[in-house]
Amino acid sequence: MKIVIASDHGGFRLKQEIIKQLEGKNIEYEDFGAYSEESVDYPDYGQSVGEAVASGKFDRGIVICGTGIGISIAANKVPGVRAALCGDCFSAKASREHNNANVLALGERVIGVELAKMIVDVWLDTEFAGGRHERRVGKIGNIEDKYRK
């Protein structure tokens, strides 16, 4: 599995912890920034991760900002991205099993490091269940197609 990860300044410290976790599990990743706590704009990072995942260059992405809200909204503007903001392990599992989420969003100022690591583990280890969920995920793609310019 190949992961792309990015954050704005508000998610920088948590991103560094998640990177250590990925390295400890020998998971291939690429860090798209930010590279410090200097103020930057979260939409740039949500978009870059979204585009990298939607292109197929990466299997999944992880985006982090202060709350996870803004960066997930930005990532979800990219057709083909299904970014899920998760603050608990149940949601992380369901986002993969039911929604085939390909981007995980986290909020550094909302959850602690240890919970974030558990969420990442669950999210990375859970596969899409398919079946009845396949039809529903397909409908999400149909919505994107309807509004694509």
Write out pLDDT tens, residues 49-66: 999 999 999 999 999 999
What pLDDT score was predicted for residue 145? 92
The span from the CA of 145 to the CA of 149, in Å, is 9
Cα 27 to Cα 18, 81, 98, 147, distances in angstroms = 11, 21, 24, 35
How many CB atoms lie under 10 A from the CB of residue 19?
17
What is the DSSP track for 59-77? SEEEEEESSSHHHHHHHHT
Tokens for 10, please give them. 């508000």
pLDDT grade, residue 4 (50/70/90)?
very high
What pLDDT score was predicted for residue 148? 83
Domains, the chain, in order of start with CATH, read 2-147 (3.40.1400.10)
| Crossing angle between the packed helical segments 12-24 and 113-125, to the nearest 10 degrees | 50
How many CB atoms lie under 10 A from the CB of residue 95?
25
Average pLDDT over residues 18-22: 98
Catalytic positions, written as ranges: 65, 98
Average pLDDT over residues 87-112: 98
